[in-house]
């Protein structure tokens, strides 16, 4: 199928108006059509002198086009109307699209097959679209729902811990060093709560995996325990000299040791704990719904998502996270 894209002449003294000629971008429209298997030619009337009637007629005489795309009415109704009348008066009488209010419902059929994903890139494009659909009925064309899964992230490595922490990098590493070297706990003395905090590996020992799976089954139930442990691909170039950053023992959950930690120690330890526990839980599941609403030549898309199974997200209790800064901590 042959398609001709025509760009009307615009006022060279006000190039800002150019966005109204092809609000979606000529290059983008052309690429979408070509990817869909159409043969596309372009005619930019700004590059030629002479009467537009002669230019357009000459091009239409060289090849038989099925569709001719012209600019949006936003640049000037009279200009585009003139171009459309020239096209329609030609012997081949190709169908016209992107002609604003003059367009029939026929072009919509071709673009439904192409399924282009047009984006509104700025205020100018938005105004053009709003004007075009102002008097059009809005009709729900399609509703689609599908399940989406989101898997848990691996346990922390050093760089990811620094990114996730709300503290500066230097402060984060200092607090992590304190958790690693040891915290004084009643009856247990000085206890290192986390593994070595400088690592580029997501590897975890088999004993730690076994312990956290037992913890998940006891705290969250069997529905939150995968049949087999989750594994994570090693980062390319990782030295893998140390394990991922994780709690040294599932005995010391954050709430149990909270009263022996400073605010910063508790916040960082809780983040490391939750990340490790979540890494061995099943994916969260969502129902994603997409609604396409047609209005004239345009299609508006609305997306929504509903959580149907928390999975690993259950390990990240948002209320508890919010309350992590409340209460009182002993000065240390």
Per-residue pLDDT at 116: 39
Query: Do 152 and 293 sit in the same domain of this protein?
Result: yes
The 10 Å Cβ neighbour count of residue 309 is 16
Are 212 and 126 in a shared domain? no
CATH classification of the domain holding 98:
3.40.50
When mean pLDDT is compared across 8-12, 231-235, 257-261, 284-288, the lowest value belongs to 8-12
Total domains present in the chain: 2
Average pLDDT over residues 57-81: 64
Going by C-alpha positions, the residue among 17, 290, 292 that lies closest to residue 140 is 292
Claim to verify: residue 9 and residue 50 sit in the same structural domain: yes
Give the Cα separation of 39 and 23 in Å (integer). Answer: 21
16 pLDDT higher than 80: no
State the pLDDT confidence band at 89, using cuts at 50, 70 and 90.
Answer: confident
Q: Is 123 exposed, middle or buried (0-12, 13-18, 19+ CB in 10 A)?
A: exposed
From 109-123, 154-168, 208-222, the region with the lowest mean pLDDT? 109-123
Residues 236 and 253 in one domain: yes
Is there a contact between 280 and 213 (Cβ–Cβ < 8 Å)? yes
Residue 280 is predicted with a pLDDT of 97
Min mean pLDDT across 59-63, 152-156, 256-260, 307-311 is at: 59-63
| pTM: predicted TM-score of the whole model, two decimal places | 0.60
pLDDT surpassing 70 at residue 158: yes
Per-residue confidence band for 328, with pLDDT thresholds at 50, 70 and 90: very low
Domain boundary among 100, 135, 170: 135
pLDDT in tens, 211-229: 999 999 999 999 999 999 9
Query: Sorting pLDDT into bands at 50, 70 and 90, what band is 91?
Result: confident
Question: Which residues constitute the domain of residue 259?
Answer: 138-332
- Using CA atoms, how far apart are residues 317 and 220, in angstroms rounded to an integer? 12
Q: Read off the tokens for 125.
A: 């494009």
Residues 6+ positions from 266 with CB-CB distance below 8 Å = 254, 257, 258, 324, 329
* Claim to verify: residue 235 and residue 307 sit in the same structural domain: yes
Give the per-residue pLDDT at 71.
54
- Position 83 scores a pLDDT of 64
More confident residue, 70 or 207: 207
| Rounded CA separation 79/10 (Å) | 9
Tell whether 54 and 188 lie within a shared domain: no
Q: Same domain, yes or no, for 151 and 127?
A: no
Clarify whether residues 318 and 182 are in a common domain. Answer: yes
59 with 127, same domain: the answer is yes
| 33-54 pLDDT, tens digit each | 676 667 778 777 777 777 877 8
Question: Do 118 and 146 fall into the same domain?
Answer: no
DSSP 193: -
pLDDT one-digit tens code per residue, 269-293: 999 999 999 999 999 999 999 998 8
Task: Give the model's confidence band at 9: pLDDT under 50 very low, under 70 low, under 90 confident, else very high.
Answer: low
Among 112, 135, 158, the domain-final residue is 135
Q: Does 66 have pLDDT greater than 50?
A: yes
Does one domain contain both 170 and 40?
no
Report in angstroms the alpha-carbon separations of 265 from 104, 268, 275, 296, 327. 66, 5, 15, 58, 14
Do 173 and 243 sit in the same domain of this protein?
yes
Provide the CATH number for the domain around residue 220.
1.10.290.10
Query: Each residue of 98-108: pLDDT tens digit?
Result: 443 333 333 33
Q: What angle do CA 103, 104, 110 make, to 5 degrees?
A: 95
Q: What is the pLDDT of residue 171?
A: 96
Quote the CA–CA distance of 236 and 233 in Å, as a whole number: 9
Question: Which of 89, 109, 135 is the C-terminal boundary of a domain?
Answer: 135
* C-alpha dihedral (319, 322, 326, 330), degrees to nearest 10: 100
Least confident residue range of 7-21, 186-200, 204-218, 286-300: 7-21
Look at the block and give the residue holding tokens 């099943």: 282
Residue 266 neighbours by CB distance under 10 Å: 22
pLDDT value, residue 43:
78
Separation of alpha carbons 201 and 232, rounded Å? 10
Residue 108: predicted pLDDT: 39
Instruction: Kindly indicate the confidence band of residue 133, based on its pLDDT and cuts at 50, 70 and 90.
Output: confident
Q: Which residues are catalytic?
A: 196
CB contact at 8 A, 156 and 165? no
């Amino acid at each position: 199928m042959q398609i001709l894209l025509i760009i009307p002449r615009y006022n060279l003294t006000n190039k800002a108006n150019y966005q109204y000629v092809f609000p979606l971008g000529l290059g983008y429209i052309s690429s979408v059509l070509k990817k869909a298997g159409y043969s596309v030619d372009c005619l930019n009337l700004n590059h030629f002198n002479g009467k537009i009637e002669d230019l357009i007629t000459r091009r239409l005489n060289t090849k038989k086009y099925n569709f001719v795309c012209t600019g949006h009415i936003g640049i000037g109704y009279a200009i585009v109307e003139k171009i459309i009348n020239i096209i329609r008066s030609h012997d081949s009488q190709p169908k016209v699209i992107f002609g604003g209010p003059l367009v029939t419902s026929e072009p919509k059929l071709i673009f439904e097959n192409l399924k282009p994903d047009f984006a509104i890139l700025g205020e100018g494009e938005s105004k053009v679209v709003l004007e075009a659909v102002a008097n059009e009925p809005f009709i729900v064309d399609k509703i689609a729902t599908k399940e989406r899964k989101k898997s848990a992230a691996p346990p922390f490595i050093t760089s990811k811990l620094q990114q996730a922490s709300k503290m500066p990098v230097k402060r984060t590493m200092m607090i992590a060093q304190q958790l690693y070297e040891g915290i004084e706990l009643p009856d247990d003395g000085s206890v290192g709560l986390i593994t070595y905090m400088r690592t580029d590996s997501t590897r975890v020992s088999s004993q730690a995996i076994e312990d956290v799976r037992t913890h998940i089954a006891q705290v969250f139930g069997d529905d939150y325990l995968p049949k087999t442990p989750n594994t994570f691909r090693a980062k390319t170039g990782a030295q893998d000299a140390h394990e991922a950053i994780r709690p040294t023992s599932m005995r010391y959950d954050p709430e149990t040791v909270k009263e022996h930690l400073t605010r910063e120690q508790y916040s960082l330890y809780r983040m490391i704990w939750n990340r490790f526990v979540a890494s061995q839980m099943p994916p969260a599941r969502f129902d994603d719904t997409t609604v396409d609403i047609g209005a004239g030549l345009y299609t508006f898309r609305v997306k929504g998502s509903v959580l149907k199974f928390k999975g690993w997200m259950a390990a990240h209790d948002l209320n508890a996270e919010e309350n992590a800064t409340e209460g009182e901590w002993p000065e240390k």
